Amino acid sequence: MTSNLPRRALLLSYFTVGYNVLEGLISIIAGAWAGSIALVGFGLDSFVESLSGGVMIWRFTRTDGLTPEDEARREQRAVKIVGCTFFVLGAYVLYESLKKLYFREMADPTLLGLIIAGVSLIAMPVLFYLKYRTGRALGSQSLMADSRQTLTCAFLSLALLMGLGMNYWYGVWQADPVIGLVIVGFLFREGYQALKAGKLCTCGSCGV
């Protein structure tokens, strides 16, 4: 059973990349069509999430023949890269949220955007659970950090759903950027924790 865990981690990572690339493309196209900055930003977030999944594919590919020290260094490097993606995503969400509030940029009502956010809100928590459970069984800090980024994607899906929903039904355009600012704190906290975990190597060498 334990021998199947790296393969499961790899398959989950492939699914993460494939799903988020597809979601990102559809979101950006739908956002451009509706003139929705929030939806375009959500699509860009999906591409950042696919980067994190790509790091995990690199992490769990061709591990045969690695010494414990090499494995520990690869694990540590992967954790740091995943942690950095949290800060990249957080900076983008912060910028877009403040810009939308300052310039009063209003997203047009979009039913397709609501559908995209709803599907993601269902899929991401399930994927988070599977990845976190697998990472914990493997003792992989990088996969658990990646799973938390997947959970972050679920929170962003909720924010998008609330923002687009309140705009679609009630015309409250401020909802989306305000919720985005709340999520920024969560993103930076998770990024800090991931980078801090990357320093907890057991090989005696904490070099990148």
Q: Which of 22-26, 27-31, 103-107, 150-154 has the highest mean pLDDT?
A: 22-26
What average pLDDT does the chain have?
83
Annotate 41-62 with b (16+ C-beta within 10 A) or e (fewer): bbbbbbbbbbbbbbbbbebbee
Confidence of residue 20 (pLDDT cuts 50, 70, 90): very high
Distance CA 134, CA 6 (A): 8
Question: What type of residue sits at position 188?
Answer: F
pLDDT band at 206, cuts 50/70/90?
Answer: very low
3-state secondary structure of 65: coil
Mean pLDDT computed over 20-39:
89
CB 132 within 8 A of CB 14: no
**In the prediction, which pLDDT does 116 show?**
95
The CA-CA-CA angle for residues 142, 144, 147, to 5°, reads 110
CATH hierarchy code of domain 2-198:
1.20.1510
For residue 66, the tally of other CB atoms under 10 A from its CB is 12
Q: Please measure the distance between the N-terminal and C-terminal CA atoms of the chain and give it in whole angstroms.
A: 32
Instruction: Give the model confidence (pLDDT) of 128-142 as tens digits.
Output: 999 999 999 998 888
